[in-house]
């Protein structure tokens, strides 16, 4: 039986509504690059309700389940491109607008999205434009009639543009100063509230007097515990410009800090001071890039890096080096993104990453750099980026090794439905 | 012995040397006492940080004193002791300077493009501790620069504490080419001086008469007032004899020490500038013809620095180009400060004064002489280790130390590693690559004498013109 492309295009529209019950679907391919568990030969992927329910070598397929049987295919997770301005053309200056999302800029059904979907890109992180702190990224699936259908997650990461200059450093310092201000406000409000409570409830509070100092410490540490204990206390609302930084501080969102030289790194560390929070780095690859000077520190902090798959040179020399590989081999998560903004760069993305492998990057890291690491940057790695039980069934089918330049996309599955390619069942 | 010869020098050197004497006086005590104990005598710095020692080198302290085979001991980036047979803590990082000369790090005035990628002041926020220009400057022995009037320490891989002093200088213009500005400045000085006189009178009379009103500071130029109160120094850019003379007279009248950049014809009015206590920032190689309309002396002179120095002017030396210039004719940019100083020596400037002209004098001009510019106890441990005389064209910086950390090592960096690699770079106990296993080890004392004696021996032979005979830095 053959599904033609007309029929196919009807499927995803229905996909978005979770009420639509899917039949169990099986796909048998020659090879699966799971990304998480290496390669499975003669793999069978079982899909239900847009998720992978099982994957393994030669799984038995019950009768009645529709099967796509293509032993010449290789399957891998749909590509995750977390750092993109695809289909957006807004401009902005050097603003401090951490609350902004690029969602209003998105035009559903824009050609670019449909196009990159055929390259196997199934998840995109779009960031807001501008320098300074322009806002938070939004994660989308590149298909949908409306923004709601496309949107996966708001607040995927906080974009920060940092340079070694007085202005950048001030922006960062001011932002954290406001967080401190807010914390102080919360603490004061709580103290006041506790006092009021004490005044009302007589005996129970008095008994606890001895334990009071410890209790206060706990309060500061864990707001939620206090909230549940005493239901009425509501901490004062945070300023919308402060909220994103609270999420960063609490480890709920990564800031993605754009730097372009080792000096930027040094001044970034100087600006954040003693504060402890995780952050990722966006490093724009240039012909000469002295970021290797701070390699050890970046490795020590286990920063995730977002880079182009490009080679560079040791400053003032013709000594070529593979910075993405250097960081990946040292254990950092490296996200590689297409070399340019054009569609062609998206089409040759896999091949460009393949070049990194030819220059010393581990194959495993290269595959992760296009899938699960990108998902992790956006806090989506629980659902996206690997072929594992329970993950969203975003699959990319190829006619060979994903990292070879000649390999072509033969089919793409988004949320359990084929959205590209001719699929014979 | 050494110190008595040192003290016999001119009065000015004596004054500088006097500062150094306590340091050397600690020498004998240093061998016995706890290394930390003597450091405790230092005022500002606390007893903490990593120990660092440079041993076996000839220490040219920059104050005129030379200590052969001495040790410089630093902690937390500050020099704690200088002398012989010092007790070195076990955890100290030790740099063996056998056969090398140790000088204070050089201070380059008006050096652009070294402290930051983008420039424009605010170096605390823009300093690039990884830039190639920074490495080149360190390779040239420069450890402090001034850019946009800010004194910046060339730290490597660090951005904290690089700014030593912000905008200490106040630039003024006092030229006969702009007579109006000149008379305005005269008036400002007069007003400020009158105000300060009145203020002092008021302070005095206040003791007896409490009702007396404080003199109004209105209309008094704050910069000029700061100059007269010694809170800033006046910097002029002047080349002509008449302008220099004007500045000298102005300074003498209002009793401040002017800093004069250029001072091309300074040699014609050197006595006046000396009386004014001026500092001159000269470029010994810059040349200008005398104006043919004038009968009196004029134009540039290779003796400029020497004559100014003889008249008591403190001479700082600046390179022909203030940038790092990797194109055009080599040897004229900021990386060749000692070569530039060498030209002043050619014109008769004593070697010691030439070295001071690229170390302590510019440090004074920037108001950072308490931190850098000479090797003295209590100052920052900014050292350069050379394989010969600092002013010799063949000498190369082998190591640069900033704040007690080795920030440049010639044999390990890109730029000069291939030029005359040091034979003694290998540790004495390391296996010798030139010998096969089992071969007998040659006598150990061969190596040090080779490196130690070779350099001084070849110098007078190869460059007799460069070196004036009075190498002993006598200023008379």
Segment B20-75, tens digit of pLDDT: 434 333 333 333 333 333 333 444 445 789 999 999 999 999 988 999 999 999 99
Comparing CB atoms, the residue among B117, B160, B414 nearest residue A263 is: B117
Share of chain A above pLDDT 70, in %: 87
The model's pLDDT over B102-147, given as tens digits with 9 standing for 90+, comes to 999 999 999 988 887 665 668 889 999 999 999 999 999 999 999 8
| Tokens read off for A247 | 């999420």
Specify the higher pLDDT residue, A16 or A299: A299
How large is the average pLDDT for residues A385-410?
A: 95
Are A165 and B126 an interchain contact pair (Cβ–Cβ within 8 Å)?
yes
**pLDDT for res B13:** 41
The model's pLDDT over A81-107, given as tens digits with 9 standing for 90+, comes to 999 999 898 787 778 899 999 999 999
**pLDDT for res A171:** 92
Closest listed residue to residue A385, CA positions, set A135, A148, A19, A125:
A125
Residue pair A157/A255 in contact by the 8 Å Cβ criterion = yes
B452, pLDDT greater than 60 = no
Q: How far is A133 from chain B (nearest CA, A)?
A: 18
| Helices and strands (H, E) in chain A, number of each type | 15, 23
Is A166 touching B (CB cutoff 8 A)?
yes
Distance CA A399, CA A88 (A): 32
Residues 6+ apart with CB under 8 A from A337: A81, A82, A83, A84, A306, A307, A308, A309, A349, A374
B467, pLDDT greater than 50 = no
- How deeply is B41 buried, as exposed, middle or buried, from its count of CB atoms within 10 A (0-12, 13-18, 19+)? exposed
Closest listed residue to residue A335, CA positions, set A356, A380, A305, A365:
A305
In this structure, of A238-252, A395-409, B210-224, B380-394, the range with the lowest mean pLDDT score is B210-224
**pLDDT for res B470:** 44
Using DSSP bridges, classify how beta strands A423-424 and B51-60 pair: parallel, antiparallel or unpaired: unpaired
Alpha-carbon distances, residue A240 vs A168, A243, B350 (angstroms):
20, 5, 68
Confidence band of B291 (pLDDT split at 50, 70, 90): confident
**pLDDT for res A230:** 52
Are A165 and B158 an interchain contact pair (Cβ–Cβ within 8 Å)?
no
Is B126 touching A (CB cutoff 8 A)?
yes
In this structure, of A266-280, A392-406, B196-210, the range with the lowest mean pLDDT score is B196-210
Distance CA B391, CA B343 (A): 9
Is A317 touching B (CB cutoff 8 A)?
yes
Average pLDDT over chain B, rounded to whole?
82
Comparing CB atoms, the residue among B129, B160, B414 nearest residue A263 is: B129
Alpha-carbon distances, residue B380 vs A105, A153, B52, B91 (angstroms):
56, 54, 12, 20
DSSP category for residue A131: E
Residues 6+ apart with CB under 8 A from B463: B392, B393, B394
How large is the average pLDDT for residues B360-386?
A: 96
Specify the higher pLDDT residue, A6 or B79: B79
Q: Which residues of A touch B132 (CB under 8 A)?
A: 315-316
Confidence band of A44 (pLDDT split at 50, 70, 90): very high
Q: How far is B152 from chain A (nearest CA, A)?
A: 16
A241, pLDDT greater than 80 = yes
Are B159 and A270 an interchain contact pair (Cβ–Cβ within 8 Å)?
yes
**pLDDT for res B424:** 57
Are B126 and A294 an interchain contact pair (Cβ–Cβ within 8 Å)?
no
In this structure, of A116-125, A139-148, A155-164, A190-199, the range with the lowest mean pLDDT score is A190-199
Q: Which residues of B touch A293 (CB under 8 A)?
A: 130, 157
**Interface test with chain B among A169, A259, A267, by most B beta carbons within 10 Å:** A267
Share of chain B above pLDDT 70, in %: 78
How large is the average pLDDT for residues B76-91?
A: 95
A14, pLDDT greater than 80 = no
How large is the average pLDDT for residues A43-52?
A: 94
Q: Would you say the pTM of this structure is higher than 0.90?
A: no
Are B132 and A315 an interchain contact pair (Cβ–Cβ within 8 Å)?
yes
Are A293 and B157 an interchain contact pair (Cβ–Cβ within 8 Å)?
yes
**pLDDT for res B43:** 44
How large is the average pLDDT for residues B444-453?
A: 42
How large is the average pLDDT for residues A205-214?
A: 46
Q: Which residues of B touch A165 (CB under 8 A)?
A: 118, 122, 125-126
**pLDDT for res B265:** 95
A234, pLDDT greater than 70 = yes
Distance CA A172, CA A160 (A): 9
Given strand A304-307, what is the order of strands in its sheet? A135-136, A157-161, A254-259, A280-283, A304-307, A334-336
Confidence band of B211 (pLDDT split at 50, 70, 90): confident
How large is the average pLDDT for residues A327-338?
A: 97
The model's pLDDT over B407-427, given as tens digits with 9 standing for 90+, comes to 999 999 989 999 988 765 455
Q: How far is B118 from chain A (nearest CA, A)?
A: 9
Counting one residue from chain A and one from chain B, the pairs whose CB atoms sit within 8 A come to 50
Residue pair B107/B373 in contact by the 8 Å Cβ criterion = yes
**pLDDT for res B410:** 95
Average pLDDT over chain A, rounded to whole?
87
Confidence band of A253 (pLDDT split at 50, 70, 90): very high
**pLDDT for res A404:** 94
Are B130 and A294 an interchain contact pair (Cβ–Cβ within 8 Å)?
yes
The alpha carbon of B356 is separated from its chain's Cα centroid by a whole number of angstroms, namely 6
ipTM tops the 0.90 cut: no
Closest listed residue to residue B337, CA positions, set B358, B314, B352, B356:
B358
Are A164 and B132 an interchain contact pair (Cβ–Cβ within 8 Å)?
no
Distance CA A158, CA A378 (A): 10
How large is the average pLDDT for residues A316-331?
A: 94
Is B129 touching A (CB cutoff 8 A)?
yes
Share of chain A above pLDDT 90, in %: 71
Comparing CB atoms, the residue among A165, A166, A266 nearest residue B129 is: A266
Is A295 touching B (CB cutoff 8 A)?
no
Most confident of the ranges A219-223, B25-29, B108-112, B376-380: B376-380
Q: How far is A132 from chain B (nearest CA, A)?
A: 15
Comparing CB atoms, the residue among A168, A169, A262 nearest residue B130 is: A262
Comparing CB atoms, the residue among A164, A168, A316 nearest residue B117 is: A164
Q: Which residues of B touch A289 (CB under 8 A)?
A: none
Q: How far is A217 from chain B (nearest CA, A)?
A: 33
Are A267 and B159 an interchain contact pair (Cβ–Cβ within 8 Å)?
yes
What dihedral do alpha carbons B177, B183, B188, B193 form, nearest 10°?
110
**pLDDT for res B119:** 59
Q: Which residues of B touch A290 (CB under 8 A)?
A: 130-131
Is A59 touching B (CB cutoff 8 A)?
no
Q: Which residues of A touch B116 (CB under 8 A)?
A: 164
Angle between helices A262-272 and A166-200 (to 10 degrees): 20
How large is the average pLDDT for residues A128-138?
A: 92
- In B, minimum Cα distance to A268 occurs at B125
B12, pLDDT greater than 50 = no
Is B127 touching A (CB cutoff 8 A)?
yes
Residues 6+ apart with CB under 8 A from A411: A73, A395, A397, A418, A420, A421, A422, A423
Q: HSE of A328 in the Cβ direction (CA atoms, 13 Å)?
A: 26
- How deeply is A257 buried, as exposed, middle or buried, from its count of CB atoms within 10 A (0-12, 13-18, 19+)? buried
Specify the higher pLDDT residue, A201 or B14: A201
């Amino acid at each position: 039986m053959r599904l033609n492309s007309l029929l196919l295009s009807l499927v995803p529209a229905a996909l978005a509504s979770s009420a639509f019950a899917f039949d169990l679907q099986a796909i048998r391919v020659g090879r699966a690059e799971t990304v998480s568990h290496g390669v499975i030969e003669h793999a069978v992927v079982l899909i239900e309700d847009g998720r992978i329910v099982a994957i393994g070598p030669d799984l038995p397929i019950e009768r009645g389940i529709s099967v796509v049987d293509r032993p010449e295919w290789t399957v891998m997770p749909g590509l995750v491109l977390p750092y993109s301005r695809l289909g957006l053309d807004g401009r902005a200056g050097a603003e401090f607008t951490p609350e902004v999302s690029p969602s209003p800029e998105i035009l559903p059904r824009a050609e670019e999205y449909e196009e990159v979907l055929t390259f196997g890109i199934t998840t995109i992180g779009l960031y807001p434009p501008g320098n300074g702190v322009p806002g938070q990224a939004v994660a989308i699936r590149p298909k949908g009639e409306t923004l709601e259908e496309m949107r996966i997650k708001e607040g995927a990461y906080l974009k920060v543009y940092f340079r070694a200059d007085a202005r950048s450093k001030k922006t960062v310092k001011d932002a954290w100063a406001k967080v401190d201000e807010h914390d102080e406000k919360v603490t004061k409000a709580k103290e006041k509230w506790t006092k009021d409570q004490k005044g009302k409830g007589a005996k129970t509070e008095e008994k606890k007097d001895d334990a009071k100092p410890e209790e206060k410490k706990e309060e500061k540490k864990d707001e939620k515990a206090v909230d549940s204990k005493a239901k009425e206390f509501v901490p004062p609302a945070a300023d919308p410009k402060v909220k994103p930084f609270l999420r960063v501080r609490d480890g709920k969102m990564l800031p993605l800090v754009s730097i372009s030289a080792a000096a930027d790194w040094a001044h970034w560390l100087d600006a954040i001071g003693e504060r402890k929070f995780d952050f990722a780095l966006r490093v724009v690859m240039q012909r000469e890039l002295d970021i290797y000077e701070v390699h050890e520190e970046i490795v020590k902090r286990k920063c995730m890096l977002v880079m182009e798959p490009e080679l560079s040179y040791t400053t003032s020399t013709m000594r070529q080096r593979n910075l993405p590989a250097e960081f990946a081999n040292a254990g950092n998560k490296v996200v590689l993104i297409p070399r340019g903004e054009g569609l062609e760069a998206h089409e040759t993305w896999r091949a460009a990453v393949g070049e990194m492998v030819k220059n010393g990057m581990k194959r495993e890291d290269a595959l992760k750099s296009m899938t699960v690491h990108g998902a992790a940057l956006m806090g989506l790695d629980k659902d996206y980026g690997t072929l594992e039980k329970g993950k969203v069934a975003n699959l990319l089918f190829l006619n060979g090794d994903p990292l070879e330049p000649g390999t072509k996309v033969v089919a793409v599955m988004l949320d359990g439905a084929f959205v590209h390619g001719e699929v014979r069942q | 012995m050494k110190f008595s010869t040192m003290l016999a020098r001119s009065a000015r050197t004596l004054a500088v040397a006097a500062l150094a004497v306590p340091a050397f006086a600690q020498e004998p005590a240093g061998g016995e006492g706890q290394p930390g104990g003597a450091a405790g005598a230092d005022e500002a710095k606390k007893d903490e940080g990593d120990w660092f020692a440079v041993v076996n080198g000839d220490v040219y302290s920059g104050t005129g004193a030379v200590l052969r085979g001495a040790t410089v001991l630093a902690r937390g980036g500050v020099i704690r002791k200088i002398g012989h047979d010092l007790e070195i803590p076990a955890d100290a990082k030790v740099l063996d300077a056998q056969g090398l000369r140790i000088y204070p790090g050089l201070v380059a005035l008006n050096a652009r493009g070294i402290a930051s990628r983008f420039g424009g002041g605010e170096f605390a926020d823009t300093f690039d501790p990884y830039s190639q220009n920074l490495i080149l400057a360190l390779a040239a022995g420069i450890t402090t620069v001034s850019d946009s009037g800010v004194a910046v320490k060339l730290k490597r891989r660090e951005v904290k504490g690089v700014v030593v002093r912000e905008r200490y200088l106040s630039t003024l213009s006092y030229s006969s080419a702009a007579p109006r500005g000149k008379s305005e400045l005269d008036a400002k000085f007069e007003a400020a001086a009158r105000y300060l006189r009145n203020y002092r009178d008021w302070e005095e009379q206040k003791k007896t008469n409490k009702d007396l009103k404080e003199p109004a500071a209105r209309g008094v130029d704050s910069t000029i007032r700061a100059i007269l109160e010694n809170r800033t120094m006046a910097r002029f850019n002047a080349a002509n004899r008449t302008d220099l003379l004007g500045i000298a007279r102005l300074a003498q009248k209002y009793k401040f020490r002017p800093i004069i950049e250029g001072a091309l014809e300074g040699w014609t009015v050197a006595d006046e500038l000396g009386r004014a206590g001026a500092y001159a920032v000269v470029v010994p190689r810059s040349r200008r013809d005398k104006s043919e309309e004038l009968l009196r002396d004029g134009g540039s002179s290779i003796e400029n620095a020497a004559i100014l120095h003889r008249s008591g002017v403190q001479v700082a030396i600046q390179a022909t180009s203030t940038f790092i210039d990797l194109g055009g004719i080599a040897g004229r940019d900021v990386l060749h400060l000692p070569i530039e100083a060498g030209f002043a020596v050619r014109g008769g400037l004593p070697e010691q004064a030439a070295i001071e002209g690229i170390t302590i004098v510019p440090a004074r001009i920037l108001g950072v002489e308490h931190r850098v510019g000479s090797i003295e106890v209590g100052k920052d441990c900014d050292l350069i280790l050379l394989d010969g005389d600092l002013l010799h064209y063949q000498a190369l910086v082998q190591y640069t130390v900033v704040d007690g950390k080795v920030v440049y090592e010639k044999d390990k960096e890109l730029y000069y590693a291939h030029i005359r690699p040091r034979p003694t770079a290998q540790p004495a106990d390391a296996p010798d690559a030139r010998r096969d296993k089992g071969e007998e080890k040659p006598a150990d004392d061969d190596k040090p004498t080779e490196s130690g004696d070779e350099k001084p021996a070849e110098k007078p032979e190869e460059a007799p013109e460069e070196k004036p005979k009075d190498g002993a830095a006598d200023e008379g």
